[in-house]
Structure 1
């Protein structure tokens, strides 16, 4: 394990994005009225490779046996948050999930074709996707059939990491999309940050990454998946807050900087408090996850996901309102955050449904001193 702090991860990404803002790539796709100039991937492929090489984001959670740093979840959520703050459209979430899923997987035991494509992903030259919608995949004898809904970067993903049903029980699988027996269908939506596609599989080769029916490993994977999305939402809320404060410090109305008006300052303060609360829950979930406290991690990550979704949605609305008339325009960045906030809030359920699941999982026990 390497002695790298979460602050170092954040600083590295902030330094990179100061010169290569992710939202600039989102603007590019927004402004491309046709396919001219619009990348099929939805992000700058060369830029993703540079981010992988210079910052090493693809290797943060990757096991040392695969050439990575194998950092804990706390570092991965820090990276996801920083990428969310700048609305970076690259395959960050799916790549971090794959890197963590490789823990315990011996590279020498992986077939050459799959190993090479994984190595390409870790080098930033290939793309991995993960489903955010329906999953009807069944696995038997090294092949999968069925459908995955709303796969991130599904139109160009070289591999997909998804859970599958096997005769022995559920498992996590790596599916190589280079096989001809798949059909991709782009999914239209309001979000201009992460492109999605449905993928249908017919007897497509796949590699199991976990032992079937290992409920603990699979639950751990899905907890991290939920955690990373919540971290991305916290980052988005922080991005909105930064935009609000910067505008409020320079915009004048009736001879006064609007940040001096109580309504504006209170809106910014409310957003700051809500964002800090959501971040604290995500960090607490990561700490419990890293400590192998499965019960507390499950309870807290569900609460974090609900809080992060609500906070991001409220922050994106506040950004539009604080920005005044210009905030409602197509050219302004506010609607990019607004769209992404609403789209991510709907993944896997509503905030209220996540809170209900947290209560069912026993989160009220966290109110008892020493319960966690």
Structure 2
């Protein structure tokens, strides 16, 4: 999937169908010149329904079609025949799509399971035919109910990427490079900040044909939690990752300082993010010789007490299997030791 095709935020306008009108027909047949009321009910108007689809990864298909109108119900007819219901409109969305009422700001539901449905605009009820209104005192009612109007509204759809591991780091920390090396994903890679403007997903192949999903999320900058830079645009994608992989380059001036800034941005956005499993990975470690790496380990052992960390290099293919082993262990509840 190219970056341009990844759409994770759209607004749509929907109108459900109007209910059909009830019939005020009176039975008139040969030899029955004055039959009673036999008007049928009007059909229901069509619903607008969102459906979660596990085969979809983006809201791109909604980018150029944002108005949806369901069919109206048919009118009732003689012989108490009920009108046909209006055609429902089904809108397919990826798993992890949050539905928000744009006008009120209400978060209606997050669609998380394949086939899960949400009716966002109900069709109007069909009117009742005159057959319902006959009584001992009014045996030939000549009136019926009109159909009820449908619903109309604006909705915002926000998609949160569903991945096992989310890559967290400052711009140009090497996240896209790592994803390109250990998955089949082909993210844009360049030596400048904000190369990644949309999340990239890749499937990591592990031992014995097992796999897990990793997401490269646009780089964090200070103030992201307040919306600075790309702000909330990407932070919401981290909410669905069960494990957070913090990438900090080996040539950073203060590794623990960078980690603290990243942690603080996540905390200010959503404190619950700190409850996720965390692993610190020192990228670009091929620049370090053994002596310098030993010195850094001594410092990191003091700075990262209780927090697992490791060294790796995407370019030199160093420590990648160890990284996969550690992540797999964290995802599946096996013990993770400090390296």
TM-score, structure 1 normalization: 0.25
TM-score, structure 2 normalization: 0.27
Report the structure number with the largest CA radius of gyration: 2
Greater strand proportion: 2
Greater helix proportion: 1
